[in-house]
Amino acid sequence: LANVFTATDRREETWGPPDTAGVWGGGHRAETSFTSTSLDPGAVPTYPSRRHYGKWAEAPIDSPASALPSPARVALHLGDCLAGDPGAELANRKYAAPAALLRGRADPGATPAPPQVPSAGGLSAHQAAARDPRAENARQVVLVCARGERFLARDALRSLAVLEGASLVLGTDGFIKAIGPADAIQKQFSEETFEERIDCSGKCILPGLVDAHTHPVWAGERVHEFAMKLAGATYMDIHQAGGGINFTVERTRQASEEELFSSFQQRLQCMMRAGTTLVECKSGYGLNLETELKMLRVIERARRELDIGISATYCGAHSVPKGKTATEAADDIINNHLPKLKELGRNGEIHVDNIDVFCEKGVFDLDSTRRILQSGKDTGLQINFHGDELHPMKAAELGAELGAQAISHLEEVSDEGIAAMATARCSAVLLPTTAYMLRLKQPRARKMLDEGVIVALGSDFNPNAYCFSMPMVMHLACVNMRMSMSEALAAATINAAYALGKSHTHGSLEVGKQGDLIIINASRWEHLIYQFGGYHELIEYVIAKGKVIYRK
């Protein structure tokens, strides 16, 4: 075991039966104290008729909430729903070997492992190591999810799973092993020796933040373009004048692989200090096979050498190269780039998760976008692309049709596109920094949320939007896009992980998930969003894969 994080006092949570999207939420808020009596694994909970959960009794469960364990048990059974139907009755579950849970599962149909919990059939003493750090007395532990949800939408976003008076145990394998009442964790591991004790008194523990959209590998400064924008130049004005992407492409082609890695590593360190533990990283400043592969090798090196999690995206269709038409560029990508990526992936030289296209007027039209995305999907890549940013292109409708995992920007998305994305469970990755810096109209986040779209957030870090901070992104989302703080945090954790196809292992603090979390010096978790700037004063620890990667 690697870490124990302990929260004190009470637990505040909302529970409820699944909505039509298969996610949990919508119950009334309940506050319950964890006591020794609530640790009895044989106790049978019941729920009042108005779904005000948190009461314990010996009467049988007789409400529609019977698919849920009691609130106290939820803290002990967080690993139950890592896969499968969240509404399935616990009594009917079949459990696989614990090792399957501890490894984490990519297969949504995998059988859940039994809960790894103290005093209720949990970790045995022989599973503990004698060199484990321990963090104690946190004010709040923000799970975000507590039932294995792969995303949160609609009513499930109204309030998040927050524990007070609980402990979280990380294993030496980097995964979360147990979450439960602090006293029970203390009793279970009373004979163990921990390598470090982290005093979290008055502090909060949250999942590591997930940045679902960045362009972090490039050379060449574009600070001069900021002055042009302030003087009234538009993004496309600068782009068509040889600036923007084209300027960065030239500098990136000239840079060595080592130079690119050095600057990339520094940028990732800035993101980590701001609480990001999983980040999507695009290529796209090469536009020829040689430079695109150079960028992807840099991303692969970082994935192997650094502690931050990386989802790699091939974005060779970021712009149309000089001297080519969009059709010719699409042909080159389909006939040359993608086959090479497949070959290198098969040989284990690089690992690419997603394919991206800048679907925009004057760049790649809908037909070229379709061809490239479909070819990438046929190659085994997940579709995650730029759409409906500057002009209405019907990119959302196309993405839903192709089974895209996510579409970014969406400032100009249509009502039909929003409905299509909601039906297809295609994530909308909204980028508040882009609309802010380019003075674009804001994406219709409220419309998307109300329609049931899975909304995620990203920084869009690039030479045009120089922002490392997901806390600032969340703040902008709340102020400019009218998102609530709960919606913003979910969008920067579980939903951002869903946009990258990684919400089975990332995005929430649940048993069996990767041990990515942050500790902030604040009495309530909302301070991470409420505070505009100065996140370095808030974030005291960043932990990825069970390892402390930053401490203030």
Write out pLDDT tens, residues 383-436: 999 999 999 999 999 999 999 999 999 999 999 999 999 999 999 999 999 999
- Residue pair 405/384 in contact (Cβ under 8 Å)? The answer is yes
Report the alpha-carbon distance of residue 351 to residue 301 in Å, rounded. 10
User: Residue 249 pLDDT more than 60?
Assistant: yes
The mean per-residue pLDDT over the stretch 238-261 comes to 92
- Residue 382 DSSP symbol: E
The strand pairing partners of 81, in sequence order, are: none
CA–CA distance from 494 to each of 72, 91, 116 (Å)? 22, 27, 21
Query: 262-319, pLDDT tens digit by residue?
Result: 999 999 999 999 999 999 999 999 999 999 999 999 999 999 999 999 999 999 999 9
73 pLDDT exceeds 70? Answer: no
pLDDT computed for residue 134 by the predictor? 59
Alpha carbon of residue 464 to chain centroid: 23
Q: What is the DSSP string of 154-172?
A: GGGGSS-EEESSEEEEE-T
Give the residue with greater pLDDT, 99 vs 476: 476
- Check: CB of residue 178 under 8 Å from CB of residue 511: yes
Q: What is the pLDDT of residue 3?
A: 54
SS3 at position 296: helix
Phi, psi of 445 (to 5 degrees): -60, -45
User: Residue 549: its pLDDT value, please?
Assistant: 95
- The segment(s) of the chain belonging to CATH 3.20.20.140 are 210-454+463-482
At 473, is the secondary structure helix, strand, or coil? helix
Can you name the CATH fold of 210-454+463-482?
TIM Barrel (3.20.20)
Alpha-carbon distance 213 to 33, whole Å? 39
Question: Dihedral of CA 90/96/97/101: which sign?
Answer: negative
- Tell me: the pLDDT tens digits for 484-526? 999 999 999 999 999 999 999 999 999 999 999 999 999 999 9
Report the half-sphere exposure of 451 (CA within 13 A, side-chain side). 22
Least confident of 63-72, 187-196, 322-331, 399-408: 63-72
For residue 306, give the DSSP letter. S
- CB 56 within 8 Å of CB 43: yes
Contact 424/403 with Cβ under 8 angstroms? yes
Say if CB 425 and CB 395 are below 8 A apart.
Answer: no
Structural contact between residues 248 and 255, judged by C-beta atoms closer than 8 angstroms: no
- Asked whether 30 and 14 are in contact (CB, 8 A), the reply is yes
Q: Which helix (H) or strand (E) holds 539?
A: strand 539-544
Residue of 300, 315, 407, 401 lying closest to 355 (CA atoms): 315
Cβ neighbours of residue 231 under 8 Å, at least 6 residues apart?
Answer: none
Provide the 8-state DSSP code for 18.
B
Structure tokens that stand for 177 in this block: 């092993």
| C-alpha torsion 458→462→465→468, nearest 10 | 60
Average pLDDT of the chain to the nearest whole number: 79
Structure tokens at 263: 């600057």
**pLDDT given at position 183:** 80
How many other C-beta atoms are found inside a 10 Å radius of the C-beta of residue 542? Answer: 26
- Percent above pLDDT 90 for the chain: 61
Confidence (pLDDT) at 9: 38
Q: What is the pLDDT of residue 135?
A: 59
pLDDT at 48: 27
Q: Which residues pair with 166 in a beta bridge?
A: 181
CA-wise closest residue to 395 among 376, 429, 370: 370
How far, in Å, CA of 417 to CA of 299, rounded?
32
The rounded distance, in Å, linking the Cα atoms of 415 and 124 is 53
Nearest C-alpha neighbor of 275 from the set 549, 478, 510: 549
For residue 274, give both structure tokens. Answer: 């701001």
Tens digits of residue pLDDT in 154-181: 999 998 999 887 778 888 889 998 887 7
pLDDT at 137: 66
Helix (H, G, I), strand (E, B) or coil at 283: coil
